[in-house]
């Protein structure tokens, strides 16, 4: 496994790999790797391809009062996991190099960034786009892998790929959950044991909602009831609980593929999830 820090060196290796007919599969991460990441990485294993995993905790996607400073940094452990998985290249960009130019790329802003998480975390999607656009430019991957757990991020990145004509395919990978349905996330590390039990309820309550909202367009009452239930179970700070289509639009027909989207705090930890209806 090659560990590469220099952008120029990485580009050279990628050019050589492409000349040798290899497909480039790319998995961008912020480290603190867990089984959810490993699933993405395993799915990216294909014949005649190399897998490149990037690890970079991107400061610009954190708000001023968010957890940038405390975000788990576990590079040693991450590298061991990636070595065991036989990943070809780990890209560890140096902050001063990858963020040398402080100006944001003139990346379009999309309406879908202003809703759901974008409402309460206005820095998040501009920050994510500003790093992903650079990574896409550097890696020139044939396929890039993103988890469906961060579903809004996945849709925003797909839109950016389309609008800026990046050639990479965006491959969505299903959310990996613990046995109680809690989606794996690097931020689960912040949860106390009693909070994990509370967080598990999100899955239970939302799963229970699915059959109820399946054949109904007006779900206001059902969602209000579910919010009450969440609160009764200790999930008191609900940022949103809503239903949108897979492209993050209002659901106008029962035929359109849709999801339940939720963001809520358990203690001081913000959790997000989504469920296919
Ligand atoms: O999902 C993440 O881990 C990050 O938002 C990403 C896509 C690596 C950009 O920093």
CATH label of the domain that carries residue 8: 3.40.50.620
Secondary structure (3-state) at 93: coil
Do 36 and 74 share a domain, yes or no? yes
Pocket test for ligand 1, best of 132, 157, 186 (most atoms within 8 A of CB): 132
Q: Is the CB of 150 under 6 A from ligand 1?
A: yes
pLDDT at 100 (0 to 100):
86
Contact 270, 195 (CB under 8 A): no
57 & 129 share domain: yes
With respect to residue 179, please indicate whether it lies within any of the assigned structural domains: no
Name the residue with the closest Cα to ligand 1, atom 6: 29
Which pLDDT score is estimated for 236? 82
Regarding the beta carbon of 130 and ligand 1, being less than 6 Å apart is answered: no
How would you class 256 by CB atoms within 10 Å of its CB: exposed for 0-12, middle for 13-18, buried for 19 or more? middle
- 150 and 263 part of one domain: no
In a domain, 181, yes or no: no
DSSP H or E run through 100: none
Position in ligand 1 atom list of the atom nearest CA 186: 3
| CB-CB contact of 143 with 171 (8 Å) | yes
Distance 21 CA to ligand 1 centre (A): 28
Give Rg (Cα) of the chain: 19
Instruction: Determine the distance from the C-alpha atom of residue 164 to the mean position of all C-alpha atoms in its chain, rounded to a whole number.
Output: 20
CA 41 – CA 146 distance, rounded (Å): 10
CB 258 within 8 A of CB 125: no
Q: How many domains does the chain have?
A: 2
Is the pTM higher than 0.95? The answer reads yes
- Given 173, 197, 225, the domain boundary residue is 173
Q: How far apart, in whole angstroms, are the C-alpha atoms of residue 242 and residue 223? A: 7
User: Over its length of 277 residues, how does the chain's per-residue pLDDT go in tens digits?
Assistant: 999 999 999 999 999 999 999 999 999 999 999 999 999 999 999 999 999 999 999 999 999 999 999 999 999 999 999 999 999 999 999 999 999 876 656 678 899 999 999 999 999 999 999 999 999 999 999 999 999 999 999 999 999 999 999 999 999 999 999 999 999 999 999 999 999 999 999 999 999 999 999 999 999 999 999 999 999 999 989 999 999 999 999 999 999 999 999 999 999 999 999 999 9
- CA-to-CA distance for 149 and 183, rounded, in angstroms? 7
Specify whether the CB–CB gap between 191 and 202 falls below 8 A.
no
**Is 194 found in the same domain as 131?**
no
Whether 76 is a known active-site residue: answer: no
Whole-angstrom CA distances from 228 to 130, 191, 236, 241, 244 are 38, 22, 9, 11, 20
135 in contact with ligand 1, CB cutoff 6 A: no
Q: Are residues 222 and 131 in the same domain?
A: no
Q: What is the pLDDT of residue 106?
A: 64
Strand arrangement, sheet containing 143-147: 2-4, 89-91, 49-55, 23-29, 143-147, 169-173
- Domain range spanning residue 163? 2-173
Question: Ligand 1 pocket, 132 CB below 6 A?
Answer: yes
Q: Is 99 in the pocket of ligand 1 (CB under 6 A)?
A: no
Phi-psi region of 72 (alpha: psi -120 to 50; beta: other; left: phi over 0): beta
**Angle 151-163/124-139 helices, nearest 10 degrees?**
50
Span 210-220, pLDDT tens digits:
999 999 999 99
Six-digit token string for 126: 């501009």
Nearest ligand 1 atom, CA 28? 8
Residue 15 lies in a domain: yes
- Whether residues 104 and 147 share a domain: the answer is yes
């Amino acid at each position: 496994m090659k560990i590469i820090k220099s952008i120029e060196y990485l580009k050279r290796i990628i050019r050589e790999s492409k000349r040798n007919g290899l497909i480039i599969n790319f998995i961008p991460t912020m480290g603190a790797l867990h089984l959810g990441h490993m699933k993405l990485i395993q799915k990216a294993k294909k014949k005649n391809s190399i897998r490149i995993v990037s690890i970079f905790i991107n400061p610009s996607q954190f708000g001023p009062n968010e957890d940038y400073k405390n975000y788990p940094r576990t590079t040693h452990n991450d590298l061991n996991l990636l070595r065991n998985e036989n990943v070809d290249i780990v890209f560890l960009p140096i902050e001063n190099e990858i963020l040398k130019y402080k100006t944001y790329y003139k990346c379009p802003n999309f309406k879908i960034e202003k809703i759901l998480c974008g409402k309460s975390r206005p820095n998040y999607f501009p920050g994510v786009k500003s790093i992903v656009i650079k990574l896409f430019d550097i890696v020139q991957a044939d396929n890039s892998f993103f988890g469906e757990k961060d579903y809004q991020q996945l849709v925003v990145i797909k839109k950016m790929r389309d609008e800026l004509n990046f050639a990479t395919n965006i491959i969505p990978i299903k959310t990996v959950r613990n046995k109680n349905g809690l989606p794996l996330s690097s931020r689960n590390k912040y949860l106390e044991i009693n909070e994990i039990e509370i967080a598990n309820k999100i899955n239970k309550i939302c799963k229970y909602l699915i059959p109820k909202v399946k054949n109904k367009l007006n779900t206001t009452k059902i969602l209000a009831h579910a919010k009450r239930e969440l609160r009764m179970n200790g999930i008191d700070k609900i940022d949103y609980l809503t239903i949108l289509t897979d492209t993050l639009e209002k659901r106008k027909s029962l035929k359109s593929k849709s999801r339940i989207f939720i963001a809520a705090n358990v203690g001081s930890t913000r959790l997000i999830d989504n469920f296919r209806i």
